[in-house]
Amino acid sequence: MLARQLSAGALRKGPALSFRQKNAFAFPRALAVRNASTASSSAFESFLNSRITLASVTLFTAGSVAWYTHLYGSLPFLSEVHASHASDEGLHPPDYPWPQKGLFDTFDHASIRRGYQVYREVCAACHSLDRIAWRNLVGVSHTADEARAMAEEVEYQDGPNDEGEMFMRPGKLADYMPGPYPNEEAARAGNAGALPPDLSLMTQARHGGANYVFALITGYVDPPAGVEVREGMNYNPFFPGGAIGMARVLFDGLVEYEDGTPATTSQMAKDVVTFLHWAAEPELDERKKNGIKAVILFSTLTLLSLYVKRFKWTPIKNRKILYDPPVDKKH
């Protein structure tokens, strides 16, 4: 109701207003109508057209450019020539269609199981995984018996015993995954000075996450012409700088999957990255379920509050205030 009256009024007022604007440019003072309904718009017009506004906007623009130049050392919107090349930052990885990618999607747990096998047989030769315990695998990729059997194959130091001596015992479910090296120095010494990073949080620790790790371990190529890679380094366009200490390790048929999946390079890479993604984000399922719940609850509450607002405001918005003039007694 109110909206209709407003729009009708605006339509009626439209031509008159434009006429007044035309004249306002020519004789701003003379034709300024002292009328309550138009005073604000003509004041706004004169504010927009004033020299002070022009000067202050110019000053603001010049100041912004100067500030930007001072802060970043270069003028905005002007490209520059750099000695470095964008490829030195590493290629951006493609966006892969992971099974866990969607809003409601969880990990493919068969893939996690295969990925653990790849990690154990290939990656674990150099990379530790020291935030994952054997018990974490239970109910995710292995049964409790399987995990216990795997843990018992590893000897852990424990103690001290009654005589104050440390002793070795087979692993338990509560033990964490053993690393390939006793300390960082040993890891560097075994890898020509390069430290193989711990993989527990790797998909969270690199830009691009799982996409980056997959692109990296499948992205080894010969260096392009003009790029020299030092002895003992390998060229990988996805690695910042291009030269990476790790060589390509995944080749077709490197492992033999127990479920008969063909062990191609990309299949193994996908499985091990899925495993590492789970290792870095084991809470993914709970997080996504909580997200579903939050969206449902909050959208319901939003709709409810919008309805209540309209319900309460309807009589106020639709009321009509009538002016009943006093009866003119006498002149």
Least CB distance to another protein at residue 110 (A): 5
The reply on whether position 109 binds another protein by CB under 8 A is yes
Q: How far apart are CA 291 and CA 278, in angstroms?
A: 18
- Got the DSSP string for 273-311? HHHHHHHH-TTHHHHHHHHHHHHHHHHHHHHHHHHHHHH
257-270 burial, b for 16+ CB within 10 Å, e for fewer? Answer: beeeeebebebbbb
Q: Establish whether 126 is an annotated binding residue.
A: yes
Q: Establish whether 123 is an annotated binding residue.
A: yes
Least CB distance to another protein at residue 252 (A): 25
What is the DSSP secondary structure assignment for residue 137, as one 8-state letter?
H
Q: For residue 133, give both structure tokens.
A: 């315990």
Select from 121, 146, 152, 281 the one that contacts another protein (CB under 8 A): 146
Q: Closest CB to another protein among 190 and 282?
A: 282
Q: How far apart are CA 116 and CA 220, in angstroms?
A: 22
The reply on whether position 287 binds another protein by CB under 8 A is no
Q: How far apart are CA 156 and CA 179, in angstroms?
A: 11
The reply on whether position 301 binds another protein by CB under 8 A is no
Least CB distance to another protein at residue 241 (A): 37
133 φ/ψ angles, rounded to the nearest 5 degrees: -100, 165
Q: Establish whether 70 is an annotated binding residue.
A: no
The reply on whether position 104 binds another protein by CB under 8 A is yes
The reply on whether position 198 binds another protein by CB under 8 A is no
The reply on whether position 296 binds another protein by CB under 8 A is yes
- Binding residues for another protein, rule: CB under 8 A, are 99, 104-110, 113, 139-143, 145-146, 259, 285, 288-289, 292-293, 296
Q: Give the residue ranges of the annotated binding site for heme c.
A: 123, 126-127, 246
